A and B are shown apart, each in its own frame.
Chain A
Amino acid sequence: MTILAIDGLVKRFGGLLATDQVSLTVEDGEIHALIGPNGAGKSTLINQLCGEIAPDEGRIRLAGQDITNMPVPDRVALGLGRTFQITSLLGDATCRQNIAMAVQARQGGNFRIWDRIAGRRDLWDQADAVLDGSALAGRADVVVHDLSHGERKQLELLIALARQPRLLLLDEPMAGLGHAESQDMIARLREVGRSVPMLLVEHDMAAVFALATRISVLVYGRIIASGSVAEIRANAEVREAYLGAEDELC
């Protein structure tokens, strides 16, 4: 089944065509990677999908439902999850509290002014379940301000998972991670990808080739190629426009 369908999306910033007639789909069970050089319009596309930027033309459908003009929280309620390229977290809160907030968003009952947030056992249990076995298990009570860059990237993903999305939009989850952290993230994404379809924006080719079931290449806002890992590796136009030197492909 098609979980995400983008049809003829266009976004202009003044004279700049940041998104140029983009159409693509994400199917169930798929990790669809979106690659492209800096400034190609990848984040702009993600931000249109999650509703932070309104497209000028085109339609976006989530599981068959038109969400083109829906506000951000409504899309999230329908199961759209995302991570931010530049991490966007609750800076004064701990890892555990950040994750609990996602669980809280899912559970509801958040206009209650007379309960005790500390007493919502189910909330904290679920937050702990997300933390368990993750790279941040030992850092649960550390405040975000004191986390390393890599840890914040990990937390972005855990928060998105705690919300239990039907579709994940990941904007460069590997960016700035060390080698070990990257390996860890790849393993984690592969595991998550078994149950949650993803649109994965990533510069790290090793990660893309390791994870993607399909790759689309975005250059100057346009999709210039789309296909399996092998097809994209073999595509001459892609090499020229984006992948550059031969040895980068190996």
Chain B
Amino acid sequence: MRPLVATLVTAALLFLFFVPMLTDLVGRPSLLALACRILIYAMAAASLNFVLGYGGMISFGHAAFFGVGAYTVGILYAHFASGELLFGFIPGSNQMLITLPAAVLVSGVFAAAIGALSLRTGGVQFIMITLAFAQMLFFFFVALKAYGGEDGIIIRRTNELAGLNMRDRVTLYYVILGFAVLFFLGLWRMVNSSFGAVLRGIQQNERRMAALGFAPYRYKLYAFILSGMGAGFAGALMANFLRYASPDMMHWTKSGELMIMVILGGVGSFFGPIFGAAAFMILETFLAGWTEHWQLLLGAVLLVIVLATKGGINGLLARIFRRGA
């Protein structure tokens, strides 16, 4: 990492650490909830960016994995509360160290199935087929009356973790922040790994990579599964934060929002999805408080940012700092 980037990351981490104090200071504790949502969406957007930006696969159904992760937490909680076994042999759980890995695993399995089929196509077909699979899952959960149908599952209490008081909003924020830091450290490793190099190669020139002996399908599928796992992880945290899991979480508009965050922040950049998620959530919150027609305004702002900046917010910042340095 270049020194400037390292300095900025340290500063950002310090800022994130003091967010609870700052929101108290300005007397707007609701901003803490916004910070939690930004962190969670940043992880989901970064997962999408792994396939979209690094791998060149335009998945328009990533909210599906987000939702599957959330439902894993929800369903495990429901069975924990009722004491009934899931499928007759899986006990429920309210332990975060069980539910989060379970969510990652289950969303990974879904990503493997959806990816294996959709990656046989390419281009516009791939976009449509990932969208179609996500909508199928959406309608499946809407119809799933055993788990609340369109209302989804209420999770009465956030999962337990190491005896922490998860009802305390500040504690929950730090838990989410901690998981986000781990998530991005892991992502950093993956992007700079042998596999990460191959993935970027495939994004740049699939024909060349095949001519070198790489079978693109297998590498893309692997990336797709990892990405689905990441989105599922974010969804599991969201279920813990909101204390419910509902089909809305995997509606196609959510997939669209994730994609907007990635584009807004800078496709294929490491920090872009974080900026994108923050910008999107902040704009949404404030524009919605200001006017009913906030979506129209949001669209306009997005258009300006995408047209006026090359490489999204990340590209803009990179240029500002390069000029300053």
Contact = CB atoms under 8 A, between A and B. Distances in A.
B313 interface: no
A93 B204 CA distance: 9
B193 A115 contact: yes
Nearest to A106: B213
B146 interface: no
Interface string B180-214: 00000000011011111110110011011111111
B215 interface: yes
Looking at chain B's contact residues, the main secondary structure is: helix
B213 A101 contact: no
Contact of B201 (A101, A109, A112, A115): A101
A90 interface: yes
B222 interface: yes
Interface stretch (A11-19, A71-79, A229-237, A240-248): A71-79
Nearest to B202: A90
A159 B212 contact: yes
A82 interface: yes
Interface in B204-256: 204-205, 207-215, 219, 222, 226
B196 A113 contact: yes
Contacts of B192: 116-118
A113 B211 contact: no
A159 B207 CA distance: 14
A88 interface: yes
Interface in A92-106: 92-93, 97, 101-102, 104-106
Candidate in A74, A88, A120 with the most chain B CB atoms within 10 angstroms: A88
B212 A102 contact: yes
B213 A76 contact: yes
Given A110-B194, A116-B192, A73 B215 contact: yes
A50 to B, nearest CB: 7
Looking at chain B, what size class is its interface with the partner chain? 20 to 34
Contacts of A71: 215
Output the residue of B194, B196, B209 with the most chain A CB within 10 A: B194
A104 B210 contact: no
B222 A88 contact: no
A102 B197 CA distance: 12
A108 B193 CA distance: 13
B208 A90 contact: yes
A110 B198 contact: yes
Contacts of A120: 194
Contacts of B222: 111
Contacts of A105: 212-214
Contacts of A84: 211
A113 B196 CA distance: 7
B208 A116 contact: no
A113 B193 contact: yes
B211 A110 contact: no
Nearest to A89: B208
B204 A117 contact: no
Given A90-B205, A92-B204, A116-B192, A72 B211 contact: yes
Contact of B208 (A88, A111, A114, A117): A88
Contact of A104 (B189, B194, B204, B215): B194
B324 to A, nearest CB: 24
B211 A82 contact: yes
A110 B215 contact: no
A101 B212 contact: yes
Nearest to A82: B211
Contacts of A91: 204-205
B189 A113 contact: yes
Nearest to B193: A113
A117 B211 contact: no
A84 B212 CA distance: 12
A52 B216 CA distance: 14
15 contacts: A50-B211, A52-B207, A73-B210, A76-B210, A76-B211, A88-B205, A88-B211, A92-B204, A97-B197, A101-B209, A102-B212, A113-B196, A114-B189, A114-B193, A115-B194
Interface of B: 189-190, 192-198, 200-201, 204-205, 207-215, 219, 222, 226
